[in-house]
Amino acid sequence: MVELRDEFHWGGYAYSGMVYAKTRKGDYPHPDWSDEDVTTARNIISGELPRVPTRPTRSRAWFPETFLFAPLVVTDPRGFAELEARVPDQTTTWQVLALAHGSNGAQAADVTTFEGTLPVVVEISHAGPLVVGDVMSLPIQVINRREAPLDTLLTVSVSGAAAGTNREPVSLGPGETATFFGDVRPTSPGEVVVTASVEPWDSMERRIEVEPRGRPTLVERHGTLGSAREISIETPSDGTHRRAQLTIVSGALGLIRSELDVGLARGQPDEHTLLLATIAPTLAKAVGAELEPGSLRTLRLLATQRALRASPTPSLELALTLGLAAALSDDPALLAFSPRWVQVVASAQRPDGTFGGESGWPLQRVLVTTAESIEMLSASKRSEREAGRARVRATGAFERHLRQIADPYTAARVLVSGATESAWSGQLIERVVSAIVSEDADASEGRKIVHTPAGVVRSDGKAPPDMESTALAALALLRHGGFEGPAGDLAMSVLGAYSPSKGWGDARSNLVCLRAVTSVFAKPPPERVEVLLSMDGRVLAAGQLSAGRRQDRLVMEAPVGLGGRHDFSISATPAFSGLSYTLSLESFSPWPRAADVRIELPRSFESGRKAAVALTTPLPPSAAVVEVPLPPGFWVDPSGLDGLVRTAQLSSHRIDTDRARLEVPAAVGPELSIELIVVPSVSGRFHTQPVRVYSVDEPGDSMFSSEPEWVVK
């Protein structure tokens, strides 16, 4: 049995279905009121009392789309369970769905709805990010849901990157609605906070991000803090809004937490996110720490649901990743599918002992795939006897092709698999050690790395970045002992190359690098570390890492004044080589007046009316992508774009709130000339980034239009 009761926490306050029912006539469930307050409110709603309660109005400011997700609720022996949930501040009708099953297989479901509303409501329209220099007339709606007239004041205040306060008289009859407008004129990057209040009935707060205007330029430097670091960075002389950001990740545990935080946000394959969430507790345990089980369980659950969609007919590559995740997990869903993935991998072994080897595969890729397959089968729940037979056949294949294993990446991958013999594994170790090089000390702190030779690929056919080759070499040397020094040097280079936003590359590279760093840097950092960032001899920012925050990243930001060359200094007290840093310097320069891409806008748009935006651009020889940024409140009519798809001028299109993305097939020709039909809903003057056109094959080589200005009346 599933029973849902109308009792929630609304906006952080508790109210019950009983109180709501008492005031249903006026739709007035006000937080934490006494029975006397409720009676008074009903009299006010009906017009029997002219006064209102004098308690202060709390601003509504929390607007998520969903507020309750509890997938693993366990009832008591009577079949009951209680959940507390804070209801968001939207004035809307909410639906709560409950699904349940018993130990005997019985199933049940129930749905309840409840309303969050007030007798007088003020609503600020949702607006996307603005740019410095924009002017927006923000719609603000006042709704009188009472049965009596409303005469009051609307107070609109703007703070943050733009400031000001305005008051407007409001006079509404019963059930009437009126729309007012508040001007927002951001003068600096940051955040604009718009608050609209109709005291004492309602108050709403809306936060609007303000971005710098211009073309962004980002310079990053990475390293470790085993000693003080001196770095020189050149910034554009015409740049504005320059900011320096220093991010410190505390040793192996900090890296694990950082990767878990951004695993899904980066858009990496779900199977790799699942593998990361599965091995993270083991990696954390290796460095003497534990991760928060709640957030880890949620990440693993979401990744599992997504990854299992591809499980009925997995490829060898997918089965390798999912099978390894299942081998290291106790999740029932993964364990149920594990035999299927293991069978896919095991059946891919050929009579000569290798795995994979589809048409056109080079031998080097076949050997790497074989090494990964043996590692997965050895870790799986498959019987040791069957895994042992597969390993013996693979070992024979590696020995036969020993002379062809000439590159350090393949040699390291074979060593990590464990399918080697002491009689010849030394030759592979020698190839790995001989590939270690020291880079220029001025440029990279003399770090030791292993470059990936041209033509070397992973099992997925992609070339591994240098940091993945470096990390794999460190793991190989650690596995075979006696090379702790070189392995530590390589792992330190990997740690210093970490970027919180990008990791070390793609999802595969991140997993290999994370394993290498956690294998070497198991020692926790000191109890307390002071970090100092200076520029040209002047302290910009200071921060502290303590034992209780080892899982967190330390982020420090500070504005940078003039452009040109600056000398930065980063120090940690006490120094600790297990701390990695990323120093980012961002500035914004004027966009060049490009002539390649042309966008033609009307002299002015009219709010609520359709208008045409003409776009003409040259195209690269291959398939291309055209990205058209949109100002806040602009809607693109998809019917015209659907017509272009039918006539093969576009292969597809996607419309987001802030841009339209058009995919152009290669057969269109040297030039594309189209019109977009748009409808603005917010008046003002807006600036967006230029239209960007790039080849699908070479996305880094882009063409731009000049910076457009959108005027809406």
- Cis preceding-peptide flag for 50 (omega within 30 of 0): no
Return the residue matching tokens 């980034």: 689
Give the CA dihedral 115, 120, 125, 126, nearest 10 degrees.
-40
Dist CA 677 CA 639 (whole Å) = 9
**Per-residue b/e over 99-120, b at no fewer than 16 CB within 10 Å?**
eeeeeeeeeeeeeeebebbbbb
Cβ partners under 8 Å of residue 285, min gap 6: none
pLDDT number for residue 297: 66
Neighbours of 33 (CB within 10 A): 20
pLDDT number for residue 34: 60
Residue extent(s) of CATH 1.50.10.20 domains in the chain = 250-520
In the chain, helix, strand, coil percent, each to 5? 30, 35, 35
Dist CA 388 CA 378 (whole Å) = 8
Dist CA 441 CA 549 (whole Å) = 32
Domain 120-211: CATH superfamily, name plus number: Immunoglobulins (2.60.40.10)
Dist CA 447 CA 17 (whole Å) = 65
Architecture label for domain 598-712 = Sandwich (2.60)
Dist CA 15 CA 6 (whole Å) = 9
Residue extent(s) of CATH 2.60.40.10 domains in the chain = 120-211
Residue extent(s) of CATH 2.60.120.260 domains in the chain = 216-249+525-589
pLDDT number for residue 552: 64
The H or E element spanning position 321 is: helix 316-327
Backbone φ, ψ for residue 32 (5° rounding) = 40, 45
Strand-pair partners of 244 = 558, 585
CATH topology of domain 216-249+525-589: Jelly Rolls (2.60.120)
Dist CA 439 CA 346 (whole Å) = 41
Residue 118 tokens read as: 């007030």
What sign for the dihedral angle of Cα 536, 537, 538, 542?
positive
- DSSP label at 7? E
Return the residue matching tokens 């291309």: 624
Nearest to 692 by CA among 678, 709, 708: 708
Q: Residue ranges of the chain with pLDDT lower than 70?
A: 1-57, 161-163, 251-253, 262-272, 279, 282-312, 328-331, 333, 381-383, 440-446, 522, 547-552, 594-595
Dist CA 287 CA 255 (whole Å) = 12
Q: What is 102-136 written as a DSSP string?
A: -TTS-EEEEEEEEE---SEEEEEPP---EETT-EE
CATH topology of domain 250-520: Glycosyltransferase (1.50.10)
Neighbours of 329 (CB within 10 A): 20
Residue 248 tokens read as: 């410190």
CA triplet 66, 70, 71: central angle to 5 degrees?
120
Q: How many CA atoms lie within 13 A of 578 on its CB side?
A: 22
Amino acid at 304: T
SS (H, E, C) 599-659: EECCCCECCCCCEEEEEEEECCCCCEEEEEECCCCEEECHHHHHHHHHCCCCCEEEECCCE
pLDDT number for residue 140: 93
Neighbours of 237 (CB within 10 A): 10
Is-contact 442 456, C-beta < 8 A?
A: no
pLDDT number for residue 52: 40
Strand-pair partners of 629 = 659
Q: What is 491-551 written as a DSSP string?
A: HHHHHHT-BTTTBTSSHHHHHHHHHHHHHH--SPPPSEEEEEEEETTEEEEEEEEEGGGTT
Residue extent(s) of CATH 2.60.40.690 domains in the chain = 598-712
Neighbours of 55 (CB within 10 A): 12
Question: Residue 226 class from Cβ within 10 Å (0-12 exposed, 13-18 middle, 19+ buried)?
Answer: middle
Dist CA 528 CA 526 (whole Å) = 5
Strands ordered across the beta sheet of 634-636: 598-600, 611-618, 671-680, 634-636
Dist CA 124 CA 138 (whole Å) = 8
